[in-house]
Structure 1
Amino acid sequence: MPFTIDFLDDGRTLEWDETPDGPVVTERDDYTPRFYIAPRSPGSDLDLTKLQAIYDRHPDVVSTEIRSRRPSFRRDEEPVLAVDGVHIDRVSSLANQARQRTEYPIGDLACFNVDFSREFRYCLETGIDPTPAADLSMLRLSVPMTEAGNETYTELSVAGETISGSPMDILTAVQAALETHDPDILVCSTSEIIPALYKMATAAGVDGFTLSRWPDIDYQQLASQSTYSSYGRVGHSPARYNVPGRAIIDESNTFFYGETNLDGVLDLVSRSKKPVQELAWASIGNVLTAIQICEAHERGVLVPWNSWRHEFYKPMGTLHDADRGGFIFAPEVGFHEDVHELDFSSLYPNIICTRNVSPDVIRCECHRDRDDVPGLGYSICDERGYLVDVLEPIIDARDKIKAAIRHEQQCKDPDEDRLTELEGRSEALKWILVACFGYQGFSNAKFGRIECHEAINAFAREILLTAKQRLEVGGWRVVHGIVDSIWVTPDPSVDEANRTDLETLSSEISTTVDIRLEHEAHYDWVAFVPQRESAAGALTKYFGKVDGKDEFKIRGIEARQRSTPPFVKDVQQECLERLDATRSPAAVLSSLEAAIEKLHAGDVAVEQLVERNRVSKPLEGYTQNTQNVAALKRAHDQDVAIHPGQDIEYVVVDDKKTSRERVALAHEEIKSYDPSYYETELVRAVESLLSPIGWDRSKVRRELAETRVTELTTFANTEQD
């Protein structure tokens, strides 16, 4: 079970296994990557043998053959052309040549199994499970942001120890750590550390420095850095590198390792056949696609290079009904006592599994007259869909893991290492389940279909309405509901003796809809926040006190926002505690006033005022002099590289200015800050807490001013006495 696979330029492949006795490498020279070519439409009479003869003469092709495969889930087996290349990096260029052949009408040929990542392709085609057979050793290398863009480092953290000094000192420390730990995984704060260390070694004349376990290759560059946009959000993808014999985890370019841990990564490795290095940089959709491809491979179904699924014809009325999201009960703005939160367990994935919603069976021809999807009239075939086989094992596994977590937590002496492992695995699977619904409507999804997306939403709306009606009949009032969650409080018009307990209602609803409705939490009170410019409730902004515990649940307000400075978060948390203890806006204002006084006295550490914002464009792309622009100008002056999609951290030192002097970068020596700016941020945070009871920012300001006037008057009277 190799944990990483390397591909050499001469066609050889290296499989690296971790064993109790250390790493073992297996060298292979017989691997030939394969892709397929088939007519785009079923029933075509295209002659593939002519194309086969052309490929047989190609120098980058090892062999070809006509095989029987299914070009899609909705097509039976038919003859396709299989092409084996000499090297894994030649697949895309070979496939492109098929689409450029003038002998075939444009659009009549389609290529399959083309755009797979390298290690994933190898594991899929050879049947290898890349789950490590033994524990993997790790070594972390980290460079400060101020050093990241430099060709020569003067400071580097190696296994948690900061090394400062000459390049020779740093290189010696890295080489010593490699010999001591012999890591299977190199965890780097940025992947640029890898080429930078080799450049330092060359410049310093250091012979024999290497990170690699293979003597002939130091490292390989797999991809260049790039900027991308996804759902309106700009992201940055740094360059990717490979070190033979070791997996690389780039902390600046990893979702699953950052959101979970190595246990979560390894759980998904076993399900997706993507080895550690590829799993670490992969997105949620990328991993979900890999799991789907594995299922398709088992069924003999090929994977399209580019998705070209047309949307089924729909009347205008159906288009209107289908173009809706999940059901929402607008929150009742204000404070609500004795609130219970109920959640459907993995609602969308469970809808897929219990209703058999899958791209290969939705709107099937064999049941076209059937009305299986509520309100849309879509049919769903009785044959089990492939997506059910993809998700059901993940749902079941997460349920078992969550049960194991609860059991471990209830133990008198819980095993913390075991808890960390279970929580990492649970979190990793959660993200896959979260993404499985939206991915069905993604235009680039390999097997997605918009009708699946629409059907899942239709079932979800029906389920939430069913739950609402049963809860209300049982004597409960719904104060908010969104997609898969409902907040209820006892209906004051119903006697307690006539009210059905929530455990009974949840059980009844679960049986009715065939998806478990769980009691998520009981709150002493919950406050739903209005929108900034409206009296209507904000759908995802609320806070509440958990019953019987000294903790709050917070969503959407400043304390949960990644850009909010720590000081503002702390003050909002303190004000929340005062509000819970006193139910008094005056008590909250007292805390706010004390924080403002501390700000203006200069008693707040600048580290507590750092803001973190994402950069959406390069510096020259901005037309307004925002704080981000000021920060980018300072970074540019200091040769600190900040790319679109990355975060920049700074302290506002004079918000009235429009130049680079408006802010100071977090790593700089900062002597002062702008107290008026941060006062405004504090007032905004307190407004979020008091807005459910009708206080907006102007009222908070007015009450603060009156308090200050009263204090000054009292002070003056005391002086006269």
Structure 2
Amino acid sequence: MSFTIDFLDDGRVLEWEATSDGAIVTERDVYTPRFYVAPRASDVDVDLEALRAVYDRHPDVVTTEMVTQRPGFRREEKPVLAVDVEHIDRVTSLAQQARQLSAYPVGDLACFNVDFSREFRYCLETGVDPTPASELSTLRLSVPVTETSNDVYGELSVAGDTVTGSPTDILTAVQAALEAHKPDVLVCSTSEIIPTLYEMATTAGIDGFTLSRWPDVGYQQLASQSTYSSYGRVGHSPARYNVPGRAIIDESNTFFYGETNLDGVLDLVSRSKKPVQELAWASIGNVLTAIQICEAHDRDVLVPWNSWRHEFYKPMGTLHDADRGGFIFAPEVGVHENVHELDFSSLYPNIICTRNVSPDVIRCDCHSDRDDVPGLGYSICDDRGYLVDVLQPIIDARDEIKAAIRREQQRTNPDEERLTELEGRSGALKWILVACFGYQGFSNAKFGRIECHEAINAFAREILLTAKQRLEAGGWRVVHGIVDSIWVTPDPEVESDDREDLETLATEITERIEIRLEHEAHYDWVAFVPQRESDAGALTKYFGKVAGEDEFKIRGIEARQRSTPRFIKDVQRDCLERFDATRSPDAVLDRLQDAIKRLHSGTVPVEELVERNRVSKPLEGYTQNTQNVAALKRARDQELAVHPGQDIEYVIVDDEKQSRERVALAHEEVESYDASYYETQLVRAIESLLSPLGWDRTDIQQKLSGIREPELTDFQ
């Protein structure tokens, strides 16, 4: 039950276990990580003994041996070379030597179990469970953006209290908090807090300052900062640090902690064998891969360093049929009354489990004459695929957690702390289930296969069409459908007495498809928004009023977009409430008019006009003078480091300018803002609300020009 693992330079390993009053450490003197080398293909002859002789002479190799393992799910057990390494940091470089020898006289080789993160590898190989046995204590350290580029902090938030003053004052406050909270987890707004505090102590001549629980090591740098691109989106990975005896969660570099909470992180720790610190910085795919690796390890299957799975041969017609996504019914633009939303519960993960779609059984040789996947002609073996064993426990666990949430919410006095825990766990599992489908088509997935991706889509298309046909036969009209969700309204051409009960229909479809079709929501009305430059419906832009609730469901429009300033979000929501109450565009425009007047009168608080946008490249890489460029120039003038992949926040001061004076950074003192710019953004937001009624921006502006009283600022 060690919640964090530390690796010392001399090869020793420290296992830390959380207790109610601190942590206890177990010191391991010997740990030799292992990787494997095998022929790349089953029909290739290689001289592993020649390679073994090379490794036996290497000073960083402790020992080698020939063992029997499965180099893949579709391969039988065979002799492979196991290499035990003196230090965990030498695994990759030693494996690279096998690559260099992957030619005459050794042969075509492949390496396995190479690129594991350190703590995960240790837990996997030694059987250590990284799930904490006791509740973890935390301490949060945070610096304002204006301090992030400084070598010496003048302000630091410690456990929610702002501390200002000299380095001695700040370091004393941190040390006192460490003694008071005895934190197992340090939650930092940026990981750079760690080296900066140590540098401050050194510069100020303060002896004895440490964040560490181990006397000989203050902190370690695990990785340098980097910028990366994924699916066309630029991201930034900050430097990573380690403090012995404490797990680090960097709020600027964590997905699961940011999207859920510590309870969600810990749930995945127990499933993936990735300790808290590694789980916090890991991506969804990284955690999903870890869970898959655990399953492979249990089945004595080695994990390839790089994926080299070829795509099975397909005729041109099959390629055409397979290269399709989920089924989509174009939404009917407009406002629809009495709408019900039906969703298939975890459709893609359940397709995998109910149809046994897994890389190790898709298009198997033993059933090549079967046509198991609709429209594609792929066979699926009767043997249970490993991916089913990976996902079924997660599906079942999330269903149980969601049921527990409903029970807790129905109590007279719900336990809010318990709800927070359950919702965090449910959210973490949801993200794993969301990613499991797309990861099958990811070229770098350890065990993915494109045929699984194609098969899942084929099943999904058939399922949605089946549901549509049965609902329409039961007297319901489909107004929108996308992948796993269907929106229906009573068919006006069917008498109410002839219309089948929706819950009964959903139960029938569930039994037929073997995946639960849930009644997600009932809406008094739903509006589907057209595309900006077309009359066709936008697939993921809609809003509606939940029946019997003082609640709206909003998707895709400005109020849901992360870059939209709070003022515009609030006005759009206010106008939405007005639309619900009156169904009158004029009433909505009255609210818009009031908001515009507030803008031009200068009474809107500047902090409500902050835009947040992601930086996609270094300042020098931009060729146009965009708002982001102006903001980056101001950040550079203030020596603030903003890397590609990070967000930058600013207020538009004068959008007509092309210089850095176009914007002001969010932390600056802003004396004025560009009311005309924000008016345009407001009109755009209200266009989203009124476009289902046939209104566009021109209609709105013409209507406003007839009712608006000119301001003096309009003539300046």
Residue in structure 1 matched with residue 506 of structure 2 by the alignment? 506
Deviation at 1:89?
0.3
Alignment-mate amino acid for residue 108 of structure 2? D
Residue deviations 1:510-539, cap 9 Å, x none? 011100000000000000000000000000
Residue in structure 2 matched with residue 718 of structure 1 by the alignment? none
1:114-129 correspondence runs (5 A): 114-129=114-129
**Does structure 1 retain, via aligned residues, the 8 Å contact 2:593–2:708?**
no
Deviation at 1:708?
2.7
Q: Is the aligned partner of 1:519 residue 2:496?
A: no
**Does structure 2 retain, via aligned residues, the 8 Å contact 1:236–1:645?**
yes
Residue in structure 2 matched with residue 193 of structure 1 by the alignment? 193
Q: What is the CA–CA distance in structure 1 between the aligned matches of 2:107 and 2:699, rounded to whole Å?
A: 65
Residue deviations 1:409-456, cap 9 Å, x none? 001111111111100000000000000000000000000000000000
Alignment-mate amino acid for residue 46 of structure 1? V
1:594-609 correspondence runs (5 A): 594-609=594-609
SS at 2:249 equivalent: strand
SS at 1:3 equivalent: strand
1:367-378 correspondence runs (5 A): 367-378=367-378
Residue in structure 1 matched with residue 144 of structure 2 by the alignment? 144
Residue in structure 1 matched with residue 694 of structure 2 by the alignment? 694
Q: Is the aligned partner of 1:269 residue 2:277?
A: no
Residue in structure 2 matched with residue 58 of structure 1 by the alignment? 58
Q: Is the aligned partner of 1:665 residue 2:665?
A: yes
Residue deviations 1:58-112, cap 9 Å, x none? 1000010000000000000000000000000000000000111266369710000
SS at 2:152 equivalent: coil
Q: What is the CA–CA distance in structure 2 between the aligned matches of 1:523 and 1:104, rounded to whole Å?
A: 69
Residue deviations 1:355-405, cap 9 Å, x none? 000000000000001000000000000000000000000000000000000
Moved more, 125-134 or 48-57: 48-57
Q: Is the aligned partner of 1:424 residue 2:424?
A: yes
Residue in structure 2 matched with residue 47 of structure 1 by the alignment? 47
Deviation at 1:43?
3.2
1:62-461 correspondence runs (5 A): 62-101=62-101, 104=104, 108-461=108-461
Q: What is the CA–CA distance in structure 1 between the aligned matches of 2:609 and 2:572, rounded to whole Å?
A: 14
Deviation at 1:300?
0.3
Deviation at 1:45?
2.6
Alignment-mate amino acid for residue 314 of structure 1? K
Q: Is the aligned partner of 1:581 residue 2:581?
A: yes
Q: Is the aligned partner of 1:33 residue 2:8?
A: no
Q: What is the CA–CA distance in structure 2 between the aligned matches of 1:288 and 1:557, rounded to whole Å?
A: 31
Residue deviations 1:528-561, cap 9 Å, x none? 0000000000000000000001110000000000
TM-score between the two structures when normalised by the length of structure 2: 0.99
Residue in structure 2 matched with residue 716 of structure 1 by the alignment? none
Q: What is the CA–CA distance in structure 2 between the aligned matches of 1:689 and 1:43, rounded to whole Å?
A: 63
Residue in structure 1 matched with residue 675 of structure 2 by the alignment? 675
**Does structure 2 retain, via aligned residues, the 8 Å contact 1:40–1:107?**
no
Q: Is the aligned partner of 1:708 residue 2:708?
A: yes
TM-score between the two structures when normalised by the length of structure 1: 0.98
SS at 2:173 equivalent: helix
Residue deviations 1:477-496, cap 9 Å, x none? 00000000000000000000
**Does structure 1 retain, via aligned residues, the 8 Å contact 2:47–2:106?**
no
Change in 2 beyond 3 A, CA 1:658/1:23? same
SS at 1:62 equivalent: strand
Residue in structure 2 matched with residue 626 of structure 1 by the alignment? 626
Q: What is the CA–CA distance in structure 1 between the aligned matches of 2:163 and 2:42, rounded to whole Å?
A: 63
Q: What is the CA–CA distance in structure 2 between the aligned matches of 1:490 and 1:106, rounded to whole Å?
A: 70
Alignment-mate amino acid for residue 143 of structure 1? V
Deviation at 1:707?
1.6
Q: Is the aligned partner of 1:560 residue 2:546?
A: no
**Does structure 2 retain, via aligned residues, the 8 Å contact 1:139–1:159?**
yes
Change in 2 beyond 3 A, CA 1:251/1:630? same
Deviation at 1:276?
0.2
Q: What is the CA–CA distance in structure 1 between the aligned matches of 2:164 and 2:467, rounded to whole Å?
A: 62
Residue deviations 1:149-186, cap 9 Å, x none? 11000000000000001111101101111111111100
Change in 2 beyond 3 A, CA 1:103/1:666? closer
Deviation at 1:122?
0.1
Change in 2 beyond 3 A, CA 1:442/1:103? closer
Q: What is the CA–CA distance in structure 1 between the aligned matches of 2:45 and 2:315, rounded to whole Å?
A: 33
**Does structure 2 retain, via aligned residues, the 8 Å contact 1:99–1:106?**
no
Deviation at 1:142?
0.1
Which structure 2 segments of 5+ residues have no match?
none
SS at 2:338 equivalent: strand
Q: What is the CA–CA distance in structure 2 between the aligned matches of 1:453 and 1:117, rounded to whole Å?
A: 27
Deviation at 1:139?
0.4
Identity of aligned residues (%): 82
Alignment-mate amino acid for residue 12 of structure 1? R
Alignment-mate amino acid for residue 150 of structure 1? N
SS at 1:221 equivalent: strand
**Does structure 2 retain, via aligned residues, the 8 Å contact 1:612–1:647?**
yes
Alignment-mate amino acid for residue 626 of structure 1? T
Alignment-mate amino acid for residue 662 of structure 1? R
Residue in structure 2 matched with residue 715 of structure 1 by the alignment? none
Residue deviations 1:242-291, cap 9 Å, x none? 00000000000000000001100000000000000000000000000000
Deviation at 1:44?
2.7
Residue in structure 1 matched with residue 613 of structure 2 by the alignment? 613
Deviation at 1:319?
0.3
Q: What is the CA–CA distance in structure 2 between the aligned matches of 1:107 and 1:54, rounded to whole Å?
A: 14
Q: What is the CA–CA distance in structure 2 between the aligned matches of 1:310 and 1:219, rounded to whole Å?
A: 43
SS at 2:2 equivalent: coil
**Does structure 1 retain, via aligned residues, the 8 Å contact 2:45–2:107?**
no
**Does structure 2 retain, via aligned residues, the 8 Å contact 1:437–1:456?**
yes
Change in 2 beyond 3 A, CA 1:386/1:692? same
Q: What is the CA–CA distance in structure 1 between the aligned matches of 2:452 and 2:149, rounded to whole Å?
A: 46
Alignment: residue pair count: 712
Deviation at 1:709?
6.9
**Does structure 1 retain, via aligned residues, the 8 Å contact 2:46–2:107?**
no
Alignment-mate amino acid for residue 49 of structure 1? E
Deviation at 1:57?
1.0
Q: What is the CA–CA distance in structure 1 between the aligned matches of 2:472 and 2:215, rounded to whole Å?
A: 71
Residue deviations 1:307-331, cap 9 Å, x none? 0000000000000000000000000
Change in 2 beyond 3 A, CA 1:43/1:699? same
Deviation at 1:20?
3.1
What's the RMSD between the two structures over aligned residues? 1.2
Q: What is the CA–CA distance in structure 2 between the aligned matches of 1:397 and 1:633, rounded to whole Å?
A: 49
Q: What is the CA–CA distance in structure 1 between the aligned matches of 2:532 and 2:106, rounded to whole Å?
A: 53
SS at 2:664 equivalent: strand
Which structure 1 segments of 5+ residues have no match?
713-721
Alignment-mate amino acid for residue 468 of structure 2? K
**Does structure 1 retain, via aligned residues, the 8 Å contact 2:21–2:182?**
no
SS at 2:708 equivalent: helix
Q: What is the CA–CA distance in structure 1 between the aligned matches of 2:485 and 2:645, rounded to whole Å?
A: 32
